[in-house]
Amino acid sequence: MKCLFLPFVALLLADVIWAAETILWVNKPTLTFEAHSKSWRVAFELNSPSDVEVAIVDPNKSIVVRHLAAGVLGPKVSPPLKPKALAQKIEWNGKDDYGNPVRNASEMAVRVRVGMSVSLEQIVGGDPYAFYSGEMGDSDHSPWAICGLEAKSDGKVYVWGHSSNLGPPALRQYDVDGNYLQTLFPMPAGKDLNAMKGWGINGRPDGTYTPKFNGLTDPSLTTTFLDTSLRMARLLPTWDPNHLTFRRAGLRAGGFDLMTINTDGTITEDPAEHLLGPLVTNPPFVFGPVEPNSHVLHSVQGPVFVCPAPDRKSFYLSGVYAATTIYGSLRKIKMDDYWRDGQVWKVDEKTRTAKVFFALDKQDIPTTRKERASAYSGRDGYSAIHGVAVSEDGNVFVCDRLHKRIIVLDESGKTIREIPVEHPDAIALSKKTGALYVTTRRGDYHRHGTVQLLKYNNWRKDDEPAEAIEVSKTGFTRKQTHSYVVVCDTAQGSNVWVAYTQMPVRIYRDNAKGLKLLKDFYRVEGAQRCLGFDRMHVDPKTETVFVQDDRDAVWKIADWKRPRFVKVPLKTASLAIDARNRHIYTRTQRDGRSGNGTGRVARFHLDQADY
């Protein structure tokens, strides 16, 4: 009988505190050949229960040829390990992991690893400025959207949008210059457990917690309505410096309900405290079937704009209009409704009662899809009136998209100024300089356009902008989305934040030298483009990781000293790695004859740069 001993057996106890005595070998691992059974036997014994991993290795090549067993010794250990035993004997049939006989089996050794633990070595990715990736595609099946931009009085700026093609959105906090501070959603770790219960969490005895899901197919990481995939909530600006307010999105009842969280990411446990009811209660928005069992629904459409009034007791509401829809598509504009297109409402914060503050002539409003597409420069996501802003002295600035102008109204709703602007979308003012900033937007899914930033030094007399900058192209225009602009005045000048789905965020510094780009979220150093993680595959020989992003693209991480996602020239719905023969197999999806469920299988060379 020949006995072979492993030259080095790793006993790893790092980061593990055992209640029992220190783990010791009672009998060190041996690998012996038994002639009568023509097989090899691994034997070892420990002095106390522990997790173990047993493998046959080739010491000359430093590779594992056969993975034999792994588990925690005790009553529930899986075969071939023996339950309730510290002394173990495992048979090896002399074959490798592929079922092939190992020719030089007598030269092999056994490796038994004991007391192992898992520790975090490094995190790859997690770009805190990522809200969009043009390299992953943009269509009606992509959830990309910037759905909120708000600057608080303390200088903190909040951006709310999708940071992944698949997972939940992100709510991130920045300083006025765009430096990342913290993430508030997905919910932050390290908070008091009781201050996080309102999110919907699984609490643990040690005070840590994990999020609950709304559903297995919708990993929203919360039981609130904050994220519901393509209909994620919208962030609405308020005067409250300590809270953030969100509006539920959707075409059915509850589509304008409000929810509030604290600006540190905590939330009250009692729903009665963080659920605030509808945005407007009197008169209410009308939702639901026009008739019982009908697929035609009463709905409220349009990009929703909200601006707090200086009195801090009311807010202005614009962009919405009443309509009927069928399967989510616009059917009829309801021009006899209180919430008809072409109006601005002033809403009392306390009673949620809305009164018409300004209205365009009803007969001027286009009602057919063709007329609206022509008048508004796009079919979806537009209405007669868009953004609204208020100056410190109470003047109200309204984006009149229908008549291609900015209307300036006094506190009573009387027009005091008109500024010609084509395709106005969002609007903001500098409290420090009085300068007016306007974003313009045109285009839709079939006719892509642009987003521009305009600056007016003196809105009381200027008819032409002092500066006009194209800040983004437009892609697919989802309903109820729009561009955003907010102004943060600093000692160095006014920081003008602009956001739109395909941009996604830019900051311009406006001082005596004019508008200059201060920060572009899409082009920060080390910007991440792989933002979807559908499936992951690992080449066990090189430890190269391949990630599929659910948009047919494949990315890899090969250099673990300086890890980054690198797009590889493969388009596939699925892939498999043959590490032994150094091949990668893919199922093509774009060969002209393949759909989402079918496709050809192609084989590529795993170790060639161009595959």
Handedness of CA 99, 105, 108, 111 (dihedral sign): positive
**φ, ψ at 195 (rounded to 5°):** -85, 0
Residue 323 has pLDDT above 80, yes or no: yes
User: Domain boundaries in the chain?
Assistant: 3-114, 134-523, 535-605
Cβ neighbours for 205, distance < 8 A, ≥ 6 positions apart: none
State how far the Cα of 581 lies from the Cα of 61, in Å rounded to an integer: 17
Per DSSP, the three-state class of 182 is strand
CATH of 134-523, one of 1.10.10.10, 2.40.30.170, 3.30.470.10, 2.120.10.30: 2.120.10.30
Q: What is the CATH number of domain 3-114?
A: 2.60.40
Q: Which of 4-18, 57-71, 157-171, 350-364 has the lowest mean pLDDT?
A: 4-18
Segment 567-588 shows an average pLDDT of 87
Predicted TM-score of the model (pTM): 0.87
What would the two tokens of residue 325 be? 């829809």
What would the two tokens of residue 449 be? 């356009």
Residue 6 has pLDDT above 70, yes or no: no
Are 115 and 11 within 8 A, CB to CB? yes
Q: What is the 3-state secondary structure (H, E, C) of 471-497?
A: EEECCCCCCCCCCEEEEEEECCEEEEE
Helix boundaries (H) for 228-386: 271-274, 369-376
State how far the Cα of 439 lies from the Cα of 422, in Å rounded to an integer: 10
Please tell me the predicted confidence (pLDDT) of residue 228.
61
pLDDT tens-digit series, residues 433-490: 999 999 999 987 667 889 999 999 999 999 999 999 999 988 776 777 899 999 999 9
Please tell me the predicted confidence (pLDDT) of residue 120.
85
Per DSSP, the three-state class of 17 is coil
What would the two tokens of residue 227 be? 């994220």
Cβ neighbours for 406, distance < 8 A, ≥ 6 positions apart: 397, 398, 399, 400, 418, 419, 421, 424, 427, 436, 438, 459
- What is the overall mean pLDDT for the chain? 89
Confidence of residue 22 (pLDDT cuts 50, 70, 90): confident
Please tell me the predicted confidence (pLDDT) of residue 402.
96
Please tell me the predicted confidence (pLDDT) of residue 2.
33
> Quick check: do 3-114 and 134-523 share a fold?
no
Confidence of residue 21 (pLDDT cuts 50, 70, 90): low
Residue 273 has pLDDT above 90, yes or no: yes
Q: How many CA atoms lie within 13 A of 510 on its CB side?
A: 28
Residue 493 CB neighbours (<10 A):
21
pLDDT tens-digit series, residues 187-235: 999 999 999 999 999 999 999 999 987 766 556 788 888 876 557 899 9
Residue 116 has pLDDT above 50, yes or no: yes
